[in-house]
Structure 1
């Protein structure tokens, strides 16, 4: 085994391709100047029943050596997740003749090509092997396009077009130039904005105006598995329209020419959201619009992605802005990018009526309890969950509370609630975090050119709202390790965290949606409806006995496993001395595990504490 060498970076301009012969060239450093000529991109989605996208791309070139990149580091992913492994059949031609290419052995998203004399255009042909579904396609252009190295992606112009499956409708932040049958031509756009502007197309499609009578359009575009699943009620529409109003009042500016929520409601896709500047890729449960409980449980997703238009897309951490999609991004300010976005998502969900104030408080109780129970705080700070997220971007299983992965989301909420309540307390109610929103984001209305910031910019803006040692305040919480949640926004907001044996309606809804029960604060495990242990408290009584991630509970006290039976056993054990008996399956082995736990069920709640109800004040509409 040969020793590993220190990896070179593009920014240092010393990354040398390891191709042989004429391809032994340095990877170009990007320059801020226009690329000569427009790229042409045609994406054919009509073969979606075979889960294949056919792609043709043309790139103006000059004779000589050049490098093509496939997007690797994508805004919003927080890691090198470009799905290059789904690209197949990649062929390069010029003047109708095939031209060899070779992948760089150090930067494997780079492809070296020697362009022959007389060739002024490279033609790329390939297939994207898509995890498609029969009734809808969320197309991300980073999946189906290459770009020439050596230029800022903001200075490369593309003429895109998409052929839709027959009769399907579509929506996108891209501007339409024309449509011929099922082929849609879009207006020329920078490669940067192309990647930032997905297309949602579907057999079943519903478009809802969320800003009627307003000068800046906002639409909710819904795709699903059938016609009934994409229908929103009048009450749901009213709340989403209120979200638009409340967000624009909060930030006192907008940073889009128009905005589209591209919402898929389906159980045949991952459930997540991905921010874009003038749209968001939102994927929720098939019954999101038809089941009131599920609608509540997933209520913050659309607000979260909408807030990102201001926080993350327009105002962006300096280390998360790169001139191309090849340079590594640094995630040290994700507690602002994601944590503050998550906080304001909860606030706006309450202010717009998507949640009641009680539901927001129940959400805060659940988050505070989860973060209080984080055994991984003994060794890993909140700051490191941001710094190290590229290592976790492909997902990890089990021991979540001990590993700590993306805690900058939930604990970020606790951090910014702490900031908000502290500002209100220090100023006697004269100032709020809302003023930070207007000062930090409320400029250049209509612009969606990224404006970067640093940690010092955050501190200085906070000091402009309410003078205080905000640098120490933030660093003490970001760098803390050991026992106890360092954020005190719950208490500062006039509430305190307590536990009893009754789950809140919010927690019941969460269990229904996730198909799992959280017993983290009692037995110390999270268990799916099928008995699979998803997580265990590192130092908990259950984990010490052997109930750990990867083990499946088959029976409890001699009876077939069910989540109700498990809860009943925990309740019964509170009044007895006998341990709870578990029959578990560990791969192919079965064994009995005795857990000597008698503390009963414990679920988190907020009850009124000392001082003003600042959380209630924060939830009031503007």
Structure 2
């Protein structure tokens, strides 16, 4: 299949897409992906498709009908040439979207490129009609003006940036041709970034034994405001961060290094070592998996661990990031109700930023990272440090990923059992399929490495005494979070209730002050 992208309408932010192919069947059906790898929830990319038309080899119009939300059928005989043309509205500025205006272009092909299911494994080519003064950051190889992909999977796994002001820095680390691309206003310290990326890259290669790619691109868009989002791809990552002017400030740079390490680790863990549920990817609907505590949780743990092992963070900095995961996990009311397996499976309906049912959600990133850390510690403790979770990942990459297949939960559990005599079925039942508290294992880990598990005081009296957090806007205090089984819930309060008064005293932004003043009162009477 041959694809062409034209960028003719920057004010309207419309990308023109042209597809040329020979029909593999009578009345071929073109599918637009319903989701993108790395974000396990349905997307509605079809809402941005407009002006779909088709012609034959004589440039005569062919009838096009939309037959499903993401499927278009062209009336054409089998074997005939079909040219499909449409527009895509590119105004999604995160790392998983596509964006186009008069100053810049970045494209995730998964958003806007249709495919024929019969030809999804066939070679593809992509031609770009860019403004003359634009430079291109693209991981695909180019031949005679066409960017070549082995199949549709590789094509849509190869995002690109284009613009007149790209910063490009190229270097080699451990045999990998590494490219840094920056788009937007920033002043990166390229020498320092090269040093640090080289350090954690070597640490990651040492873990897995080799790298499955010989070229890797960091495609980085810098925004003028605060932002952070990254998406993994086979030969690159697309990262959006901001503000660009603050990139090299200590806190922002630490965050930058963290996300870069995380996304590179995905090259092994999910792009090549992937659950069988998603091998290969199926774009026409949900790819259900209960294993995202491995794809994302293990990656979150190791992304940070590799930075520490590379000598780029102190022990205290690494522990600080562990504490961030602990705080996030324990502030989630769903930890007593939702297992890691359930959170993974349910990402398609209530994952990520969807509100869902209060106190019935957890993050398989943060809890997955904590459980990965505990698995690592349990292996080390039970084998007197002869083995670790590193050995498990090395084994699975060398013997499953390189065999060209996906892994199952049984594969993961069996591999763990090869390196540790721990009762892994019981561990999985309690901490992965179940909702048992992590605290006993965290306390054991603390004793093993010389740390102490402590519960921090609540940030407010409202949380400590009532189990609720409030927001204040225009002098009105509204409940935004209620902890499970908390006193406020038992008293009948609900989310989004406005608190009017306590014991006759008006509530605005002064709730904690009032609670402190009334602390000795035998009861509190709220009006809300």
TM-score normalised by length of structure 2: 0.84
Contact 1:72 1:325 in 2 (8 A): yes
State how 1:136-151 maps to structure 2 within 5 Å: 136-151=104-119
State how 1:197-346 maps to structure 2 within 5 Å: 197-209=158-170, 211-212=172-173, 214-224=174-184, 226=185, 229-232=186-189, 234-266=191-223, 271-287=228-244, 289-297=247-255, 299-322=257-280, 324-346=282-304
Contact 2:258 2:303 in 1 (8 A): yes
Shift of 1:464: 1.9
Cα displacement string for residues 151-182 of structure 1 (whole angstroms, at most 9, x for unaligned residues): 4x2x2221101223452322122112255xxx
1:10 maps to which residue? none
Contact 1:414 1:487 in 2 (8 A): no
The whole-number CA distance in structure 2 between the counterparts of 1:578 and 1:204 is 64
Cα displacement string for residues 269-311 of structure 1 (whole angstroms, at most 9, x for unaligned residues): 9632211111112122224514322333454221111111101
How many residues get paired? 510
Q: Which is worse superposed, 372-381 or 90-99? A: 372-381
Mapped pair 1:485 → 2:438: yes
Shift of 1:398: 7.3
Structure with the bigger RCO (C-alpha within 8 Å, sep 6+) is 1
Per the alignment, in what secondary structure is the counterpart of residue 271 of structure 1? strand
Contact 1:263 1:281 in 2 (8 A): yes
Instruction: Rate the CA distance shift 1:360–1:519 in 2: closer, same or farther, 3 A.
Output: farther
- 1:104 aligned residue (58, 62, 67): 67
- Unpaired segments ≥5 residues, structure 1: 1-38, 180-184, 504-516, 583-590, 594-622
The whole-number CA distance in structure 2 between the counterparts of 1:268 and 1:535 is 27
2:94 maps to which residue? none
State how 1:104-123 maps to structure 2 within 5 Å: 104-105=67-68, 108-116=69-77, 120-123=80-83
Shift of 1:387: 1.3
The whole-number CA distance in structure 1 between the counterparts of 2:312 and 2:479 is 32
The whole-number CA distance in structure 2 between the counterparts of 1:575 and 1:238 is 57
The whole-number CA distance in structure 1 between the counterparts of 2:225 and 2:130 is 20
The whole-number CA distance in structure 2 between the counterparts of 1:79 and 1:525 is 30
Instruction: Rate the CA distance shift 1:493–1:66 in 2: closer, same or farther, 3 A.
Output: same
Cα displacement string for residues 596-620 of structure 1 (whole angstroms, at most 9, x for unaligned residues): xxxxxxxxxxxxxxxxxxxxxxxxx
Contact 2:203 2:306 in 1 (8 A): yes
Mapped pair 1:75 → 2:37: yes
Per residue, is there more helix in 1 or in 2?
A: 2
2:485 maps to which residue? 539
The whole-number CA distance in structure 1 between the counterparts of 2:227 and 2:522 is 39
The whole-number CA distance in structure 1 between the counterparts of 2:484 and 2:492 is 11
1:599 maps to which residue? none
2:95 maps to which residue? none
Contact 1:419 1:489 in 2 (8 A): no
Contact 1:526 1:534 in 2 (8 A): yes
Contact 2:30 2:72 in 1 (8 A): yes
Mapped pair 1:396 → 2:354: yes
The whole-number CA distance in structure 2 between the counterparts of 1:532 and 1:237 is 47
Cα displacement string for residues 443-466 of structure 1 (whole angstroms, at most 9, x for unaligned residues): 699x7x953111111112112222
Instruction: Rate the CA distance shift 1:137–1:550 in 2: closer, same or farther, 3 A.
Output: farther
Instruction: Rate the CA distance shift 1:394–1:351 in 2: closer, same or farther, 3 A.
Output: closer
Shift of 1:128: 0.4
2:454 maps to which residue? 498
Per the alignment, in what secondary structure is the counterpart of residue 74 of structure 1? coil
Cα displacement string for residues 113-169 of structure 1 (whole angstroms, at most 9, x for unaligned residues): 22148x721111111011036443330112222111234x2x222110122345232
The whole-number CA distance in structure 1 between the counterparts of 2:232 and 2:399 is 20
Instruction: Rate the CA distance shift 1:222–1:348 in 2: closer, same or farther, 3 A.
Output: same
Instruction: Please tell me the root mean square deviation across aligned C-alpha atoms, in Å.
Output: 3.6
Shift of 1:544: 5.8
The whole-number CA distance in structure 2 between the counterparts of 1:126 and 1:492 is 56
The whole-number CA distance in structure 1 between the counterparts of 2:142 and 2:48 is 28
Per the alignment, in what secondary structure is the counterpart of residue 261 of structure 2? helix
TM-score normalised by length of structure 1: 0.73
Cα displacement string for residues 474-526 of structure 1 (whole angstroms, at most 9, x for unaligned residues): 222112236x33672453243232134599xxxxxxxxxxxxx9996776456
